[in-house]
A and B are shown apart, each in its own frame.
Chain A
Amino acid sequence: MPDTITLSLIAGAFVGSTAGYLGSIMLSKHMALVGDALSHVALPGLALGILFSFNAFIAAFLFLAASVIATWYLQKSTTLSVEAIIGVLFVLALSIGILITPKVDLLEALFGDISKITLTDAITTVLVSLFVVFVTRRIYNKLAISMISKELALASRIKVERINLIFLLLVAIIVAVGIKEVGTLLVGAVVIVPAAAAKTISTTLSRYSLMSAIFGLASATLGVVLSSYVNLPAGPLVVIVGTAIFAGGFLTNLLSKRLKSKRASAQMHHT
């Protein structure tokens, strides 16, 4: 049987790259904060799973899915914005979650503990990640068109609301599996930070998606490796590595822009 580090690395790699890939779409749909807030909604589900010895992933996912559907329905049938609805749901879920989670398990629920991963957890993570990527690829073109213009999407006979719901449910699935790695407080960062880093250095859509997935994979695996060396929780380290990649990408972009403008002005002087 593989050791815990190997299992953590495999699970981290799959969750990290899939979350990064989904993040590139979330960021483009201006849903970065929605992804972050959504992750906190998993806490009450997780707490109920712990209290009743129920599978934590399924419990968290059920709560996330219920929140996604409630948000989708309220947005459709009221004048409230997604941000307002999720904002209210987030604080309510977090408060209930903190109240009902047993104190001994609260820290793990909030920040995750990938060192406790089992073979079943790792296999579930791999299969779920593959499923999420497969479905996202199937709807990617429709999602991309709706990102660019809702009007164009509607005119192209794309059922924008339905596609958004499917996409948010996919995010809910990956958030539920990501909780084991980084916990409910930080799982949103796993979705958003790699995509934010990729955006700083991408000029094409294909490169943006690919780099988001690669940065997600890199931050998850490096975070797990670092955690085994310094004996600190993997969750925060994964996020810190991701943020370091973002800072690197941002600075590279800034420097290359300055270099280009210097070259351009030098050429103008020359001519």
Chain B
Amino acid sequence: MSDVRIAQTTVDSKQSQIESNDMLIVNGLNVRSQNKTILEDVSFRVKKGTSLAIVGPNGGGKTTVFRTLLNTIRYTGMIKWNGEVRMGYVPQSLVSTDLPILVEEFLRLKCRTDFETCTKAVGLDKAILRQNLGSLSGGELQRVLIAWAIVDKPTVLLLDEPTSGVDVGAEEPIYEKVNELKKELGITVLLISHNMHIVMHYSNYMLALNKRVLFFGETKSLTHSQLLSTIYGNEFALSEEEHYKE
């Protein structure tokens, strides 16, 4: 278990050339804020139509990676997209839900045409559209946010812990829906999650982060406990394994 092989975590200059089946190359990404290192020398690449899960402890820099991809914070290093990308973003939650706004009004802020198609794609029925955004359950809100993200037919979907605050039973359908959209529309998915079972099941590649890259490679190359020991160390992985045996 301890001999987890860490994949090469840097992309050297030869590898920084984008190939036709690549969607994204990140090389030597650094982020500092108030004299603190948030990300250090982070490198990875994402192939078109695949899904990459970003995992790691709290404060490990997962959301910061998204912020650099969305170009909303300062960074050094290289982020190279293959051609023109349209990004859809699903945040963990909304800041303000006390605004009197219907789900339909919210979606129409972004989607002026093809409204039916986008709501059908994520299975939003008319009853939800007539509800107030602030009155939705966690699962309903996430479906609305996914609809929002795919309204303008993105080529890349960024999901920041899309099932935080969602009941356990409602998690799987959301990931199933994302998986369907990925297959139907050929969307490349980048996903942040704490749920290792979901990560193992729904991602093709994995980036484990704790400010630096702990692991980057194919998800299937790791077992569940290898993944845990990579992120949290051997002790945690062992105790988790015992827990599952029980």
Interface residues of A (CB under 8 A from B): 28, 30, 141, 144-145, 147-152, 154-156, 199, 202-208
Contact = CB atoms under 8 A, between A and B. Distances in A.
A145 B109 CA distance: 7
B150 to A, nearest CB: 13
A150 B96 CA distance: 9
Interface in B172-206: none
A205 B95 contact: no
Which 4 pairs, one residue from A and one from B, show the smallest C-beta to C-beta distance? A155-B89, A205-B101, A154-B72, A202-B100
Interface string B72-105: 1000000000000001010100111101111001
A199 B101 CA distance: 11
Contact of B89 (A28, A141, A152, A199): A152
Contact of A148 (B72, B87, B96, B102): B96
A145 B96 contact: no
A145 B96 CA distance: 10
25 contacts: A28-B96, A28-B99, A141-B109, A141-B110, A144-B109, A145-B109, A148-B96, A149-B91, A151-B72, A151-B91, A152-B91, A152-B94, A154-B70, A154-B72, A155-B70, A155-B72, A155-B158, A156-B110, A203-B132, A204-B101, A204-B102, A205-B99, A207-B100, A208-B99, A208-B101
A166 B99 CA distance: 21
B148 interface: yes
B133 interface: yes
Interface of B: 70, 72, 87, 89, 91, 94-97, 99-102, 105-106, 109-110, 132-133, 148, 158
A205 B105 contact: yes
Contacts of B95: 148-151
Contact of B87 (A149, A155, A202): A155
Nearest to A79: B34
Nearest to A203: B100
B100 A149 contact: no
A78 B158 CA distance: 30
B106 A148 contact: yes
A152 B72 CA distance: 11
A206 B105 contact: yes
Given A152-B91, A155-B87, A147 B96 contact: yes
B97 to A, nearest CB: 8
A53 to B, nearest CB: 45
A233 B105 CA distance: 41
A155 B151 CA distance: 13
A247 to B, nearest CB: 19
A30 to B, nearest CB: 8
A205 B102 contact: yes
Contacts of B96: 28, 30, 147-149
Given A148-B94, A148-B95, A149-B96, A203 B72 contact: no
A148 B105 CA distance: 12
A204 B148 contact: no
A30 B96 CA distance: 10
Contact of B100 (A145, A155, A205): A205
A182 B5 CA distance: 73
A205 B105 CA distance: 7
A28 B105 CA distance: 15
Contacts of B100: 199, 202-205, 207-208
Contacts of B97: 148
Given A145-B109, A148-B97, A208-B101, 15 more contacts: A141-B109, A141-B110, A144-B101, A148-B99, A151-B72, A151-B89, A151-B91, A152-B94, A152-B148, A155-B72, A155-B89, A155-B158, A156-B110, A204-B100, A205-B102
B105 A204 contact: yes
Nearest to B97: A148
Contacts of A204: 100-102, 105
A26 to B, nearest CB: 12
A63 B81 CA distance: 45
Contacts of A207: 100
B87 to A, nearest CB: 7
Contacts of B102: 203-205
Contacts of B158: 155
A134 B191 CA distance: 40
A30 B98 CA distance: 10
Contacts of A154: 70, 72
A209 to B, nearest CB: 10
A41 B168 CA distance: 52
Q: Most B CB atoms within 10 A — which of A28, A155, A203, A204?
A: A155
